[in-house]
A and B are shown apart, each in its own frame.
Chain A
């Protein structure tokens, strides 16, 4: 059940010589070569809240098992951003079109991944967000 994640980063002009990074990893269970075999699938929500909303609720049974999170801000407005947090610690802001792909430890049940459309107002329109979780914890059946 191999799932592969490939990242390429390329620029011809951000430095004096071209930047070209290309990496592929096979998503595996913690500390082994066994493939991750659980996924939420690709989900989509439309954020219309400037306060934090739980995107993925941490599950204690997932503590330090392997889990990978993909989130993308599908807005085409460069100024509209999501603030992504884990247990109230801000990771960063995903501006329109930006994505992230991170490991997620679910250290405790407070370690949920939350998002907020921080500069959203009724006039800016919704921020479409797509996300997917790949994991090994079979107790992870729901998200918020």
Chain B
């Protein structure tokens, strides 16, 4: 069993009239128990040249359904207008603009439940990582 801790901090001194400070820490565990996740695909990078719309980053058919997979994504672009559209089985999740990151669970509940990325420009690079109990 491994111990992997993900921590999120959201802060702002001027969004609201009082300071905003949200902090959460989660130990990444297997589905439904306290056993630490034991596998990772490591930190990777993918640069997409032209013609790579709807690139399959994580294939739903590669993973066992309803495990406790966790995905980290970051758009490494420094051009504010450039984004990756993140889709899940054809449904838009959202646009990850330059410098933005995302962290979310992934059910991979069937073969269609792919995580796809669609860059808004050529030669954009996404950093990604998968933690899993699969």
Residues of A within 8 A of B (CB): 1-15, 19, 21, 23, 25-26, 28, 30-33, 35-37, 39, 41-42, 64, 66-68, 70, 72, 78-79, 81, 83-84, 86-95, 97-105, 107, 111, 132, 134
Number of interface residues of B (CB under 8 A): 67
B10:A91 contact, CB within 8 angstroms: no
Main secondary structure, interface of A, reads strand
In chain B between 39 and 92, which residues have their CB closer than 8 angstroms to a CB of chain A?
A: 39-40, 42-43, 66, 68-70, 72, 74, 80-81, 83, 85-86, 88-92
Set of chain B residues within 8 Å of A8, measured between Cβ atoms: 5-7
B5:A2 contact, CB within 8 angstroms: no
Given contacts A5-B101, A102-B94, contact A79 B32 (CB under 8 A): yes
Q: Does B102 contact A (CB under 8 A)?
A: yes
Total contacts A-B at CB 8 Å: 200
Alpha-carbon distance between A33 and B82 when the two chains are bound, in angstroms = 12
> Which residue of A12, A39, A100 contacts B105 across the interface (Cβ within 8 Å)?
A100
> Which residue of B15, B26, B105 contacts A92 across the interface (Cβ within 8 Å)?
B105
> Which residue of B9, B37, B74, B91 contacts A89 across the interface (Cβ within 8 Å)?
B91
Residues of B within 8 A of A (CB): 2-16, 20, 22, 24, 26-29, 31-34, 36-40, 42-43, 66, 68-70, 72, 74, 80-81, 83, 85-86, 88-97, 99-107, 109, 113, 129, 131
